[in-house]
Structure 1
């Protein structure tokens, strides 16, 4: 149960009902973080615009690299909601979610490519406190994905750090988008 109860559909005005309809249509359910942020209309709108803009702009990296790095942040910060939702997004994106079981052993696992290993290690380095990113890491990522790829990866990992920390602070936990290896929410 979140520390601030989300706004229900019954309590929602016309704009919020539209947001909820869009979310249900896209994800099969309204994400609980949306219902909590709905208490602050201007931040809800700003967040929605930002998330859509970031999604549209993120074209430099292969989806598997981006999603694995984002997932790793969620896992490292123990945001069960983000892990749950991220697994669903990967499944719906046609990515192999079975290999997520091996992410703690990514450096040695054959389930991950060299580029994926670099991105996961970078996500780890960006998520530590203090941040432990090295010049060598950035140079290797630049060789693998180019400057735009490094910027996109950095932005996505930073954004997931914010999401995971907000959800954890608000007490938002997994919502049931996944159950074990199988997604309970059908592909929209």
Structure 2
């Protein structure tokens, strides 16, 4: 259970109930981080708008490159919720999630293409403390993805750093997105109406 409990349905106002409904419709259930962030109404609304806007705007990079970089951040920072959710997103996109088992050997594994290797290495460099990105690395990324692609990659890596660090600090853990049915996500105990769509 997270250090800050999620807002249960019985405490949710009309707007939050609409957001829960939308999340359930899109994902099959309400993700726990959403319910936790809902404890701060203004940040909740800002976060929801920002996530949707960032998702819609991020269309320059190939999806596999972007998702691998984001997944790598989650894995490196130890956010089990983010890792699980990222695997589900890749699975739903038809990407090969079995190769994620080889991500620590990405530099030599034949499971990864050159563009993917560049993105994973950059995710590692940007996520280090302090960041280790170099001029040479950025130049190589620009040649591969263009300036807009590098901005998108950097932004998505930074965004995942924020998510992973926030959820880890609040102790939001893996909810079983990729074990069995990918979208069977628990919600606050008194919210049975918001459980997975097939329950």
Give yes or no for the alignment of 1:27 onto 2:27: yes
What's the TM-score once normalised by structure 2's chain length?
0.91
State the partner residue of 2:136.
136
Matches within 5 A, 1:4-153: 4-153=4-153
Task: Give the Å deviation of 1:185.
Answer: 2.1
- Which residue of 1 is the match for residue 190 of structure 2? none
Structure 1: stretches of 5+ with no match in the other structure: none
Paired positions, count? 185
**Aligned counterpart for 2:182 among listed residues 155, 179, 184:** 184
Question: 1: CA distance between counterparts of 2:181 and 2:147?
Answer: 35
Deviation for aligned residue 1:72: 0.1
How far the C-alpha of 1:94 sits from its partner, in A, is 1.3
Residue deviations 1:78-101, cap 9 Å, x none? 000000000001111111111111
Please report how far the alpha carbon of residue 184 of structure 1 lies from its aligned counterpart in structure 2 after TM superposition: 3.2
TM-score for both structures, normalised by structure 1? 0.96
Give RMSD over aligned pairs. Answer: 1.2
Q: 1:28-85 deviations in whole A, cap 9, x for unaligned?
A: 1111110001011111110010001000100110000000000000000000000000
Supply the distance in 2 between the matched residues of 1:168 and 1:147 (Cα, whole angstroms).
Answer: 31
Structure 2 residue ranges without an equivalent (≥5): 185-196
Distance 1:185 1:50 in 2: 22
SS in structure 1 of the partner of residue 33 of structure 2:
helix
Distance 1:105 1:60 in 2: 26
